[in-house]
Amino acid sequence: MLEYDMDPEMTISLLSFQLIDKLIEKFYSTTFPFIQNQLL
């Protein structure tokens, strides 16, 4: 997995998206309302 993520084809934006996805999943009660209210 690390080798794939460090590949030049893997952009930092996509890695960020994956991290955001997990942060929302693990800390849903605080992160999802933030996304809804502040960004979308």
Partner 1 sequence: MSEALLFHKNLGDYIHTIAQIIFRGELHILRVKKLAIFSMYSIVITTIYNQGNEESNNNRDGKIGLLISPMKFKNFEPQLDEAAFKYRDMLDMPDPNSKDPKAQNRQDGARQLISLLFQNYLPLQNIEKWRDEPENFIE
Question: Interface with partner 1 by CB under 8 A: which residues?
Answer: 2, 5-6, 10-20, 22-24, 26-27, 29-31, 34-35, 38-40
Q: Which residue has the tokens 């849903």?
A: 28
Q: What is the dihedral of CA 14, 28, 32, 7, to 10 degrees?
A: 0
- Spatial separation of the C-alpha atoms in residues 22 and 40, rounded to whole Å: 18
